[in-house]
Amino acid sequence: MENLQLSYPGYYAIGIVVVAILFALGLYARDRRIKENIKWLPYLLGMLRFLAVLGILFLLLTPLFKRFVSEKQKPVIVVLQDQSASIQASTQASTLEAVESGLGNFTSTISEDFEIVDIPFGENFGLTPNDTIDGQSTNMSKVLEYVSETFEDQNLGAIVLASDGIYNEGKNPLYANMQLSVPLYTIPLGDTTIRTDILIKNVLHNRIVYLNDKFLIETDIQAYNSKGARNSVTLYKYLGDKQTKVETQSFTIDSDNYFKSFKFELPATTVGNVKYRVSVAKLNNEITTTNNSRNIYVEVLDARQKILLLANATHPDIKAYKKIIKSNKNYELDIVMAEEAPASITEYDLVILHNLPSGQHKINGVLDQIKKSRKPVLFVAGGDSDLAQFASHQDVIAVKGASGSMNDVTAIKQSDFDLFTLEESMASELNAYVPLKVPFGEYAATATAKVLLKQRIGNVETNYPLLAYSDIKNHKQAVLSGEGIWKWQLYEYQEFESFKNTTPLLQKTIQYLSQKKDKRQFRAYVSKNVFKENESVSFDAQLYNENYEPINVPDAQLIIKNAQGETFDYQYTKSNNAYYIDAGRFAEGNYTFNATTNYNGKDLSATGKFSVRSLKKETYDLTAKHSLLNDLAKQYGGRMIYPNDLASLTQEIRNNDSIKPIIHQKAETTPVLDLWWLLPVLLVLLIVEWFIRRYFGNY
């Protein structure tokens, strides 16, 4: 009864016993006809009826039967097999066959008592037999960390690692993030013989640089068994199919295990994904030359923005603005006086108007161009500003009641401003700044304006905007209704020895104003700019209707072109109001793409570019690192087992007392109603009772 549980309180069981007894007594206690035949017969029939009724009522209490089940969990042996290209290149075929045969025998011998998990790996690893393992690089730490994490809560018994010890992705496996308390056995493959070879060990460089900036390419050169040889490392630049030598550095190999780093400093003069090659000359009797060069790609961006500062006259503010703007290398500034205002402002990304328009210089031509082209503009009002004209040419601040006089105004930072962020300390620090000079008048922000700074005149805080921004009809504008920023800079340098507030304030203002919105109806993108040879290149595109809602009704096409002019045509797949293509893998080189579609009779297109870099890491160094495998095995309590001794691995694991099965005992509850034989038993009781009563002729 210990294993029996009821879904109701225990006194219900007493109740059903009483009910069953009363039911049996009610039928047979006073039945004289049965007693007249055989005295013991009423007792038998009453017992049968009691048991039948008790059984039926008992089932109504939904009893559960609990039992304990023991399960045996076999120890898990994880076998990691390196399938990188260096294994095939440097390991004899007979050795590979011996290892494959030995591991096969090992698996078949112990599979009855152990669970075997095979995981082949290269750069990635496979978990099913159908997984394709890319062998162009080796990331040993990645697969070891996966095993540590995945089998942490299982009965992991041991890890067997068959590899040459060469890794060229990820971290050193000796320092991998593993919490292993099981032995690790290593099987060394490959060739440890050091042969004559020189190779590009590594190349370090910025992935992205800006036009006209200087950047470094640093390369590590490794040479074996070539002491005394003269050599040189050369950097080449490629534009299309044209190769240009950038620089050559000569050196003498002064040891049989030579290593040295070389640096090349060069300017970024070409926009786009620029290909460079680092190459060393061939040595006599060199084992391979495939590792004598390496290609890299540097994306050069032209992020410069051209700014026009048009001033009514010379003013100390102009030098302050110049200093702040030129502190960002991506800004190019032209300072022009109003009398020499340019006929066209098309080349500029942003215009700053200082004390303009003024009574002396109306600059109607510039203002008309700003309005027509929706050129981003920053108005700075001052004592020379014509406030009536100033108010009519911008949609940020309205001004009334100008009298020609000036107010001394300090700034109050608004906490609800959300166009960009500034230091929280700025709000309290601005209170102590030297006041700006603001033309007298009543100021009010327009409905579309976002106010960053308000005016405090004397000790009176007003709602007059001092610095505000607006973006109406895709025309970004800002207004600073006061002059004297140069005084703020003097105060800051005196107090903080830096321009801690004025510089970020103006730079973020310029960044906000000059940031362009993408209003194209059709846009196409590649998932990233530089791919490896073993990566699939994917593209997506979006099409928008006149309300800029995403649609994908018309078909869209993609043409990819390589540097040799070959083209590859694709049709986009439609998905979730967008377009998508997985174009597969491409050979090394620079590529351009052009996506096209036709919507409402209008041809739309979008272009872009990407690069594919060579992946030859497995050929850079073919010297097996058996010492690493030995250290790894010792670190985790195992040992290194050579291929000709693989038979000992089975006994090694069987004799390890820590690699044992685990017995788990768990409780299982089964509804008694699920026991198939209960219903027949109850039926038999009722049938026997009925048969006896019929037999003795009472019914």
Convert the pLDDT of each residue in 34-64 to its tens digit.
Answer: 555 667 777 787 888 888 888 888 777 777 7
pLDDT at 421: 82
Which pTM was predicted?
0.54
Provide the 10 A C-beta neighbour count for residue 47: 14
75-193+623-654 CATH pick, 1.20.120.1200, 3.40.50.410, 3.40.50.10710, 3.40.640.10? 3.40.50.410
Q: What is the DSSP string of 649-675?
A: HHHHHHT-TTS--EEEEEEEEEEGGG-
Residue 382 has pLDDT above 50, yes or no: yes
CA 94 to chain centre: 43
Residue 629 has pLDDT above 60, yes or no: yes
Residue 305's pLDDT band, with cuts at 50, 70 and 90, is confident
**Side-by-side strand order, sheet with 242-252:** 208-210, 293-301, 272-280, 230-239, 242-252
Give yes or no for a contact between 320 and 502, defined as CB atoms under 8 angstroms apart.
yes
pLDDT at 258: 93
Cite the residue boundaries of each domain of the chain with CATH code 3.40.50.410.
Answer: 75-193+623-654
Which residue's entry shows tokens 């991998």? 176
Q: 31 vs 178, which has greater pLDDT? A: 178
Q: Identify the CA nearest to 161 among candidates 181, 192, 180, 140.
A: 140
Give yes or no for a contact between 523 and 542, defined as CB atoms under 8 angstroms apart.
yes
Phi, psi of 504 (to 5 degrees): -65, -30
Residue 561's pLDDT band, with cuts at 50, 70 and 90, is very high
Structure tokens at 264: 């090349």
> pLDDT per residue over 63-88, tens digit each?
777 777 777 788 999 999 988 877 87
pLDDT at 698: 55
Residue 3's pLDDT band, with cuts at 50, 70 and 90, is low
> pLDDT per residue over 333-380, tens digit each?
999 999 999 999 999 999 999 999 998 999 999 999 999 999 999 999
Cite the residue boundaries of each domain of the chain with CATH code 2.60.40.10.
Answer: 197-301
Which residue's entry shows tokens 């060394």? 188
**Side-by-side strand order, sheet with 331-337:** 331-337, 305-311, 350-354, 377-380, 475-480, 460-472, 449-457, 406-413, 436-439
- For the ranges 80-94, 196-210, 588-602, 627-641, the lowest mean pLDDT is seen at 80-94
> pLDDT per residue over 643-681, tens digit each?
888 889 888 888 888 888 887 777 777 777 777 787 888
The DSSP call for residue 640 is B
pLDDT at 699: 47
| Strand pairing category for 530-532 and 442-445 | unpaired
- How far is residue 363's CA from residue 342's CA, in Å, rounded to a whole number? 10
Q: What is the mean pLDDT of the chain?
A: 86
Please compute the mean of the pLDDT values over residues 277-302 and round it to a whole number. 86
Give yes or no for a contact between 89 and 619, defined as CB atoms under 8 angstroms apart.
yes
CATH code linked to domain 522-613: 2.60.40.1930
User: What CATH architecture is 197-301?
Assistant: Sandwich (2.60)
305-514 maps to CATH 3.40.50.880 = yes
Provide the 10 A C-beta neighbour count for residue 175: 8
Residue 137 has pLDDT above 80, yes or no: no
| Percent of residues, the chain, with pLDDT higher than 70 | 94
